Amino acid sequence: MMRWIALFDSGVGGLSVWREVAQELPGLPLLYLADQAHCPYGVRPQAEIRRIAQEIVRWLIAQGAGVVVVACNTASAAALYHLRERFTIPIVGMEPAVKPAVSRTRSGRVGVLATPGTFQGEPYARLLARYAHGVEVIAQPCPGWVEHVEDGCLGGPETMALVARYVRPLCDAGVDELVLGCTHYAFLRPWIEQVAGPGVDVIDPAPAVARQTRRVWEALGAAVDEERPTYRFVTTGDPPRFRAQLRRLIGWDGPVETAQWREGTLIG
């Protein structure tokens, strides 16, 4: 049975991580699950996200996952420690890139763009306690950003206004490092950089996560079965919509599979 590198997110945000993993590990089998039936995760209670994430990882392992990447900051914040306690395969998670932002700031002020779920999680508090010494870290929730990326209406006045609503106050406060603390936000990066201007660095943790995934995969010594499809994309939502999102965001025009939730169990 082929061992997949499996990634999951509440929707298409994790495709920003998939893109980096595909570049870091070209040709390896990648399985991506978009749990669009529950999107967005950011407004859900932590306990609910843990239950959802645990069932998704169980399903991914049943599909042959050898490594799981929680390509979602909110799910990582709520469930990463929980998942590692319950499963034996390597599980790679996301965390806001507070450490590099703190080390690079010149103004002493760093902004983190994320969902409320990420800010409420224990991992974020640990990050601040460990690295945010002598630096002001401003947490900025961004309501509407995940939904805007999922809707696919990127570009134009609406996108710029939505981005400016949350980025401009941070810049006015003297922030010179902006951390993307949600994988969906990577698809808004061109507009974030335009609003922030050249004096502000935007940090996306996805490349670092891809490098960690490579290290974990190589440590397993896992082989590649070239007779199987290289990529699988699965949604718990609407397949035609997901197919259009894949085409628009990463240029994928292949088949899409479905999985369904039934009384808390993922089937498909």
Does 70 share its domain with 113?
no
Does 103 share its domain with 188?
yes
Does 211 share its domain with 89?
yes
Does 132 share its domain with 37?
no
Q: Is the pLDDT of residue 229 over 90?
A: no
Q: Which of 39, 142, 171, 182 is catalytic?
A: 182
Final residue in a domain of this structure, among 151, 171, 204: 204
What's the structural domain count of the chain? 2
Dump pLDDT digits (tens) for 134-160: 999 999 999 999 999 999 889 889 999
Omega within 30 of 0 (cis) for the link into 40: yes
Distance CA 14, CA 149 (A): 11
What percentage of the chain exceeds 70 in pLDDT?
96
Around 91, how many Cα atoms within 13 Å sit in the side-chain half-sphere? 24
**Section 184-205 average pLDDT:** 97
Q: What is the residue range of 176's domain?
A: 98-204
Residues in Cβ contact with 156 at an 8 Å cutoff, skipping those fewer than 6 apart: none
Final residue in a domain of this structure, among 172, 204, 236: 204
Does 173 share its domain with 159?
yes
CATH number, domain with residue 214:
3.40.50.1860
Does 112 share its domain with 238?
no
Final residue in a domain of this structure, among 158, 185, 204: 204
pLDDT at position 265 is 97
Confidence (pTM): 0.93
Question: Which amino acid would we find at residue 214?
Answer: R
pLDDT at position 225 is 53
Does 38 share its domain with 120?
no
Does 79 share its domain with 139?
no
Provide the mean pLDDT of the chain. Answer: 94
pLDDT at position 224 is 55
Query: Beta 231-235 vs 201-203: how paired, if at all?
Result: unpaired
Q: Which of 39, 72, 142, 171 is catalytic?
A: 72
The answer to whether the beta carbons of residues 17 and 91 sit under 8 Å apart is no
What percentage of the chain exceeds 90 in pLDDT?
88
**Section 84-104 average pLDDT:** 96
pLDDT at position 27 is 80
**182 has catalytic annotation:** yes
The size of the chain, in residues, is 268
Does 22 share its domain with 39?
yes
**Section 226-232 average pLDDT:** 69
Does 105 share its domain with 180?
yes
Query: Beta 260-262 vs 257-258: how paired, if at all?
Result: unpaired
pLDDT at position 228 is 52
- In SS3 terms, the chain reads as CCCEEEEEECCCCCHHHHHHHHHHCCCCCEEEEECCCCCCCCCCCHHHHHHHHHHHHHHHHHCCEEEEEECCHHHHHHHHHHHHHHCCCCEECCCCCHHHHHHHCCCCEEEEEECHHHHHCHHHHHHHHHHCCCCEEEEEECCCHHHHHHHCCCCHHHHHHHHHHHHHHHHHCCCCEEEECCHHHHHHHHHHHHHHCCCCEEECCHHHHHHHHHHHHHHHCCCCCCCCCCEEEEECCCHHHHHHHHHHHHCCCCCCEECEEECCEEEC
**Section 198-216 average pLDDT:** 96
Does 90 share its domain with 216?
yes
Does 174 share its domain with 102?
yes
